[in-house]
Structure 1
Amino acid sequence: MNRLYSIYDRADPQSFELLQDSISLKKKDIDPIIDELESTLQLIIPDFSLKRVYIDIQDRLLFIILLLTLKKLDASVILIPIEIKPDVFFESEIIYITDNKKHPEALMINNKFEIITGDNFNKNNLRNFENRYDILLYTSGSTGKSKLIGKNASNIITEVMELYRLFKPLKKDLFYITPPLYHIYGFLFGLMLPLYSSSVIDLTYHFTPESVAEYVKEKKVDFFVSIPSYYKMLEELHLQHFFKKAKKLFSSSAPLPLDISDSFYNKSVSITEVYGSTETGGIAYRVSAETIQWQLFSYVKIHGHSLNNEVELIIDSPAISVDYDKEMGFNTGDVVNFNTDNNFVLLGRNTKFVKIHGKRVDLGFVLSRFRDYIKNTYSINILEDQVFAGLKDDKIYIISEGNVFEDPRKLIEDLRAFLPGYAVPRYIIFNSIPRNEMGKINKQKIDELIKGL
């Protein structure tokens, strides 16, 4: 039996439950749906064990039941983000199942769990993949461009067991998540962890932060899972008190600003941040309102660090899903300062350098000088995550969310007093920094924004 499916198979039938709107499905209700869907799919494709399957499913309940069925069939499943169009990823050698896009070579699935074969679907085109993964996910990575990361059951189960050990969800505890299930964070916290603990997953969608907050309070949600940009909206609408009865609030995918964490903490609500990536799995956790220090997950081992020095964070971990030299360790690209063997302060990404006419320029230094100038001249404090610098045609540009309502040409001229000529930005754009739905910088949207410079 597939190891990920076995987590579902061992779930307590008395406590595990899927909720969505007026639908309530216990394990005894889900099992026959999976069995029937499994039989239907096997009539079309008898053996899934070496196949890869794209699932492009918007309905969350349908997503989970189809995913569990495909894991029972031992298929490698590729989770498709809603923003990626089929013409970007589609290959006729890979099975494509969707509930929201008509495609002649796809299998369509409806909310009755019925499969409709596309007119041009050809099972004879399908390829067997010897390099097997249990789950493959698209991630923006550090470049902002979509890339596919494969994870094996051992990567996922390692992390799920650690989350269960640390945060101790109980049977019948209620989970509610805002991030999508096709993102590693949503997949782990919104499906695998509650599955492992035989808890209840509420998939009901609410459009506004107000309705989410009211729902969390009304339904007595135990574990609330979201992202920094959503917590920011909740904080701006003064909705922190709706979450007082929840056992745990989680945040991941991007740094949670300390002022937001503090605003919840001052209302007796703690947000636990989880640090990691799709490639590395979870690395550490903290409640930033209590401490700036991150606590390592127990399975993470550190390579070559010394206490009280700035070092690159290089790790060894069974949750890492990409190939790396085990002797050298995996370089996360982050700079940290270890206070003890298991606790560190995250200082930021490795400094970003670019070359301009043969000169090495530190964009982090340029942004620091820009922020200092704005603060000293206009008494406006622009946070680190409110500015972005890049290079276009050997010219530096800055995007700033803090607007001083000044002619950018004057700012550029004034910055010459603080930067060498080749490092002075040629363009300053006052604009919100484009981000994807998980709050990460969207480099493709930035490219569109600077196109006319």
Structure 2
Amino acid sequence: MASLLRFADPDYFLNGTFFEDLKKDHPILVDPLWQGTSLERQLSDSPLPKQSNPQTFSLVTSGSTGSPKMVWKHWDEIQKEVDVWLSETNTQSLFQDVEEIHVQVPLCHLYGLLWGYLLPKALGIPIVMGQSKTETPAKLSITSAPQLQMAVTNAFALPERAIVSGMKFPVPLARDLRELGGISLLEIYGSTETGGMGYRDPLRQNRFIFLQEVQIQFQTFGEENELLVKSPFVSKHYDTFETNEWVSHHLPANSYYATGDLGENSDLGFYLIGRKDRIIKHKGKRVSLDRVESEILGLRLEGQFVCVPVHHERGDTIGLFTDSRLPIDHLYQTLRNELPDSHVPRVILKQNSIPKLPNGKLDYQSITKLCLNEYIKQIATKDKEKQTIQINSETTVAEILSSILGYIPKPNDHLIYDCGMDSIQFTEMFLKLETKIGSKIPEEDKQTGFFVSLSGMEGYLKDKLYLQ
């Protein structure tokens, strides 16, 4: 049996070619968007991995790395998952009285394959690819959060029911849909590697309910817990492209798969905090960059916004990349007014377009590098300003703090907890304040609450100068 590279468009499934391939070969399903890109060359320039197990196929992903990964599935595993979802009450209610299903996601990915093709096929319901062509809203759509966001933004007709997956549903979008009313939603939680793990109604639930077939446990990651799963749907084998060749990886028998998702579990369900590689410590607090993106989305600012971690010797921070035409000063002011201080990025970089991978996904590596370079330039500029600023009695406390932090904090912000001021910056602040008033500040005064905020320092200096 040979491994066959298949650029799997909807016709590949709808005309039965997929099942013909599966009977005699091992189809490797690739998104047609990869054709003519560097990702296709990586697949075609090296010998394809071989399988001995019949009725096995591969779904090719690239995630945010840009490097192909072949996740192998056996037909028995897929059929088992289809049967489980068909037995779920939530699934049955969404498919009830549906004459056709509108599918707006690629069938070559696991979510699209299961929900856009195999489940409708098992139920004998015809599928229609793409947006509904009539003014009558679709009864059921297999879609995504970005597709629903686009429909809301452009005032398109919303389906009566929708099934989504691929990301934690944005809170602002859930709020919009609740206000519009009349739509039923089911969000599937899972990945290509794990298969479906659970579900929730994102309009009413913050937590996911796991399927009975899914066993879970957690391992500590920093201050958070990483989800580990074991179920009949988890892929036992995948191949990664490393140093111009395919390297096989096998999950040991009866073991748990590390999902990379951080969260917490209770009797009410699993609360997903975010991806392990998307959480940083910023201004003394653990921050999910996915959460920050969701909060920014809720501000309805013009443009697309991407949050990335910026790792630097002076501490980790948040980088925000955008194609918005709004002035950076306006963006900073809006974010500081609307977001918690721990969620406000220290660097915002604007360009006319967002870097993308050949498969159309965000190029996080390039975006992160661009934001880091911008942050390094900003630090160099601030360091130069620190060397040239002349402190005298006329220098305001706000100007002194701006020379240290790079911006003027709100009057009652706690400099350490809200602004992330470290001990070196705190020492620099006292030196500059002493230069301003022309005398030493007593050590016992430094321990008071006056020096934790802009307004406190201004009050202290006002009293001290009055007493002099």
TM > 0.5: yes
Q: Is 1:90 aligned to residue 12 of structure 2?
A: no
User: Secondary structure, in 3 states, of the residue corresponding to 2:155?
Assistant: coil
Query: Partner of 1:137: helix, strand, or coil?
Result: strand
| Cα distance between partner residues in 2 of 1:227 and 1:163 | 18
Q: CA deviation at 1:257?
A: 1.1
- Look up the match of 2:31: 81
2:70 is aligned to 148
What TM-score results when the alignment is normalised by the length of structure 2?
0.59
> 2:124 is matched with which residue: 184, 194, 198?
198
Give the SS at the match of 1:318: coil
SS at structure 1 position matched to 2:32 = coil
Separation of aligned partners in 2, 1:161 and 1:134: 18
1:433 and 1:251 map into 2 onto residues whose CA distance is 24
Q: Structure 1 residue 300: deviation in Å?
A: 0.6
Tell me the equivalent position of 1:302: 216
CA distance in 2, matches of 1:295, 1:54: 36
Name the amino acid aligned to 1:77: P
- Structure with a larger share of its residues in helix: 2
Provide the C-alpha distance between the structure 1 equivalents of 2:358 and 2:140, rounded to a whole number of angstroms. 21
Matched with 1:388 is 307
The verdict on how the C-alpha distance between 1:136 and 1:367 changes in structure 2, with shifts beyond 3 A counting, is closer
Cα 1:438–1:318 shift into 2, 3 Å: farther
- Is the partner of 1:446 in helix, strand or coil? helix
1:174 maps to 100
Count of aligned pairs between the two proteins:
334
Which residue of 2 is the match for residue 283 of structure 1? 197
Q: Distance in 1 between matches of 2:208 and 2:360?
A: 21
* 2:276 paired residue number: 350
User: Which residue of structure 1 aligns with residue 328 of structure 2?
Assistant: 406
Counterparts of 1:325 and 1:128 in 2: how far apart (Å)? 19
Shift of the 449–229 alpha-carbon distance from structure 1 to 2, 3 Å rule, reads farther
State percent identity of aligned pairs.
Answer: 20
Query: Can you list the C-alpha shifts for 1:357-404, whole angstroms capped at 9, x where unaligned?
Result: xxx989985887x979x99xxx9798xx94422458979772334776
Q: For the Cα contact (< 8 Å) 2:319–2:372, is it kept in 1? A: no
* Distance in 1 of aligned mates of 2:357 and 2:199: 23
| Closer/same/farther in 2, CA of residues 363 and 177 from structure 1, 3 Å limit | farther
Q: Could you tell me which residue of structure 2 aligns to residue 43 of structure 1?
A: none
Question: Counterpart of 2:350 in structure 1: which amino acid?
Answer: F
1:84-141 deviations in whole A, cap 9, x for unaligned?
A: 23423115866xxxxxxxxxxxxxxxxxxxxxxxxxxxxxxxx964266622111123
Q: For residue 293 of structure 1, give the secondary structure of its aligned residue in structure 2.
A: coil
Map of 1:183 onto structure 2: 109
Letter in 2 for 1:443: Y
Residue 69 (1) aligns with residue 23 (2): no
Q: Which residue is 2:235 aligned to?
A: 321
1:281, distance to aligned residue in structure 2 (A): 0.5
Q: Is the counterpart of residue 243 in structure 1 residue 159 in structure 2?
A: yes
Unaligned residue ranges in structure 2 (runs of 5+): 237-249, 375-468
Paired residues of 2:355 and 2:366 also in contact (CA < 8 A): yes
Deviation at 1:435, TM superposition (A): 5.8
Partners of 1:295 and 1:272 in 2: CA distance: 11
Aligned in 2, Cα 1:52/1:172: closer, same or farther, shift over 3 Å?
farther
Tell me if structure 2 keeps the 8 A contact 1:155–1:319.
Answer: yes
Equivalence for 2:348: 428
Residue of structure 1 equivalent to 2:363: 442
- Paired residue for 1:262, among 152, 170, 175? 175
Offset of 1:440 from its aligned partner? Answer: 5.3
Distance 1:195 1:183, change over 3 A: same
2: distance between equivalents of 1:148 and 1:449? 29
Cα separation, 2, equivalents of 1:184 and 1:438:
16
8 Å contact kept, 1:264–1:271? no
Q: Secondary structure at the match of 1:233?
A: helix
TM-score with structure 1 length normalisation?
0.60
> Could you tell me whether the CA contact under 8 Å between 1:303 and 1:328 is conserved in 2?
no
Structure 2 residue identity aligned to 1:399: L
How big is each residue's C-alpha offset from its partner over 1:164-217, in whole Å with a ceiling of 9 and x where there is no partner?
Answer: 1121246974122111111111111111111222221223x4xxxxxx2453x5
Distance 2:74 2:185 in 1: 29
Task: Pick from 219, 225, 231 the counterpart of residue 142 of structure 2.
Answer: 225
Is 286-295 or 143-152 further displaced after alignment?
Answer: 143-152
Distance in 2 (CA, whole Å) between partners of 1:305 and 1:58 is 39
| CA gap 1:258/1:451 in 2 versus in 1, 3 angstroms | closer
